Structure 1
């Protein structure tokens, strides 16, 4: 039994056809048949049956068991291959969510430059869910991401970094800017510059309004916090963003949410539990854990 034979077998199960499998791997049909015979000899059982040479292949019960296990093994083989190839590299692959990147990247760049490690890191910026998927698929070594709840994971080590409250952005000409704190009812009928659906600030806004039975009057969906701030500066509406995630114009202020209705954004560092970092990778991850909010 070898990885190649398992790949051929899984394709046979999925296509039900020798010709399609041979074409997929650019080998001859006899090579595919030989691989199946080796597997059946190894396990001393029939894995696939065929009524005649033109019929679709039928997977036996034993074949179904092998297929499920083989798919898991092949995924593990691919991950091992990536890990081994990356083990001696001097690069550390870091991922940042859009929000975490805006807040944390300047701190990371400054800290790594101070320790002469800036040339050792490569960075990726994306959605938190995408970064965690890349981390699980061994395409990243660590990810700094944002969420509305502290994350718990069976396969990832997650370290808390910072907590940032969500807040209202208001133009100084907007009466809301004079309040010491805002409650959801204050947003009733006010024009709101919201982030795009499924973004963290948008999800937080919807949750904030829903639990107080307030229907947000969203007049525009902005692709970034920076655009939200610029539109608030033009007094087109109020914004709902993460505190400290954007530089403010002189005529824009942050107004905190009422404590009983407050929503927090959690910045967290995630690393695979199975990850065995080399010296430079371990040093870089330790630096990420040690960066302070004031750095």
Structure 2
């Protein structure tokens, strides 16, 4: 079977017109017609019903079934080509979410440099959900991710190697800074929040707590810069909700635990396609490096 036949078939399903497909590929219409005929003969079925009077083309049930397989084959071949090009280039294109990039990746970078890997690595900075999509389509090789729920994509492998808790952060001058009783999410209903933008996993975790507790604290300001969040909280403009890996001893903040049951955890992992795993040495270095678990 000729691969071009499958490409012609896929385009014909989209266009429903032999002439348009021929023009798209720069071939004659009989070339397209013969390719489809040979495919139908190979499988002893008809993929299209032709209405010559109205000049229309309709996909049969067999045609729809075959097209699902054709799409998968073409996608896999395109992905294989991308992977082979990347292997030849010897560049490692990887995803780096903002918080992991700011607080965790710098701890790993010296080890990558020593292993002669850092100079080959090209970061793509996006939120974790967007990075998972890029890994799945082959746009990047792998991604560090920070998520709440385990990834269900059957084409992806995710190695989870650390968990981080979410904290409420307040100014040292805030009334909650001196609280001695357990703090529950419902206790925060009247306090204004400085929130991270929707690309952060934090918003999903916060929304879950809102739903569980049936309260919706006011979010007075949104930003994609966690340093701005911490500075505004330190100035007592509001309080916030962030993962503990983004906290440092010199932040001039007070971090409080939530006593609620079922507070989401920030799961940190490495996601890659099953068909294109990172080199074993790189994978081992990343998942066993001890500061991830601090």
TM-score over 0.5 for the pair? yes
Q: 1:21 to 1:53 in 2, by over 3 A?
A: farther
Mapped partners of 1:227, 1:250: distance in 2:
12
Structure 2 distance, partners of 1:3, 1:99, is 44
Correspondence for 2:287 among 282, 286, 289: 289
TM-score (norm 1): 0.88
Equivalent position of 1:187 in the other structure:
188
Closer/same/farther in 2, CA of residues 44 and 188 from structure 1, 3 Å limit: closer
CA distance in 1, matches of 2:25, 2:178: 68
Distance 2:260 2:169 in 1: 17
CA drift of 1:147 comes to 1.0
> Aligned partners of 1:276 and 1:245: how far apart in 2?
28
Partner of residue 166, structure 1: 166
Judged with a 3 Å threshold, the aligned counterparts in structure 2 of structure 1 residues 226 and 119 are, in CA distance, closer, same or farther, namely same
**In structure 2, what is the equivalent of residue 57 of structure 1?**
57
SS of the residue corresponding to residue 102 of structure 1 reads helix
Alpha-carbon displacement from aligned partner over 1:146-187 (angstroms, at most 9, x marks no partner): 112344553322222211111112111211112255321321
Q: Is this contact kept in 1: 2:185–2:260, CA < 8 A? A: no
In 2, distance between residues paired with 1:276 and 1:183?
42
- Distance in 1 between residues matched to 2:61 and 2:259, nearest whole Å: 60
Q: Is the 8 A contact 1:194 1:220 kept in 2?
A: yes
Cα RMSD over matched residues?
A: 2.4
Alignment of 1:250-269 (within 5 A): 251-258=252-259, 260=261, 262-269=263-270
Equivalence for 2:231: 230
Once residues 260 and 64 of structure 1 are traced to their aligned partners in structure 2, the CA distance between those partners, rounded to angstroms, is 48
> Separation in 1 of the partners of 2:261 and 2:220?
27
CA distance in 2, matches of 1:244, 1:130: 21
Where structure 2 has 5 or more consecutive residues not aligned to the other structure, the ranges are none
Any stretches of 5+ residues in structure 1 without a counterpart?
none
Q: What is the Cα deviation at residue 22 of structure 1?
A: 2.3
**Partners of 2:53 and 2:92 in 1: how far apart?**
52
| Deviation, structure 1 residue 233 | 2.3
C-alpha separation in 2, matches of 1:197 and 1:132: 16
Name 1:39's counterpart in structure 2: 39
- Compute the displacement of 1:259 (Å): 6.0
Q: Distance in 2 between matches of 1:13 and 1:149?
A: 37
Deviations 1:8-30 (CA, angstroms, capped at 9, x unpaired):
11211221111222233333323
Report the counterpart of residue 147 of structure 1 in structure 2.
147
Give the 3 Å change call, closer, same or farther, for CA 261–60 of structure 1 in structure 2.
closer
Is the contact between residue 162 and residue 293 of structure 1 (CA under 8 Å) also seen in structure 2? Answer: no
Distance 1:261 1:129, change over 3 A: closer
Conservation of the 8 A alpha-carbon contact between 2:50 and 2:58: yes
Tell me the residue number matched to 2:202.
201
